[in-house]
């Protein structure tokens, strides 16, 4: 009986040492993951910027996001 317990303990130890931890996977745009930043696209140069640091412009009731003042100014020249 003690041999059986020994085998179970050895098996448990091997399982704990060599099994890969299961990671939680979620879609990168999932609202359940608060670390994911919302990216917005600059309409002038096309780069994606974190919405929190982007330069915002409300133009004709619509909000636009820019990576720099240069892109914002270029947008204003052409619209």
SS3 assignment, position 39: strand
Taken in order of first residue, the domains within the chain and their CATH numbers are 37-79 (2.30.170)
Task: Give the residue from 38, 51, 78, 29 showing the smallest Cα distance to 66.
Answer: 51
Helix, strand, coil shares of the chain, percent, nearest 5, are 35, 20, 45
Prediction pTM value? 0.55
CA distance 26 to 33: 8
Q: What is the pLDDT along the chain (79 residues), one digit of tens a residue?
A: 688 888 888 888 878 777 776 666 555 555 565 667 899 999 999 999 999 999 999 999 999 999 999 999 999 999 8
CA distance 51 to 6: 57
């Amino acid at each position: 009986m003690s041999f059986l317990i020994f085998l179970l303990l050895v098996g448990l130890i091997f399982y704990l040492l060599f099994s890969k931890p299961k990671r939680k996977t979620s879609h990168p745009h999932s609202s359940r993951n608060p670390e994911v930043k919302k990216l917005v696209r600059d309409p002038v140069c096309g780069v994606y910027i974190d919405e929190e640091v982007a330069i915002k412009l409300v133009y004709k009731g619509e909000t636009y996001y820019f990576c720099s003042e240069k892109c914002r100014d270029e947008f204003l020249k052409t619209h």
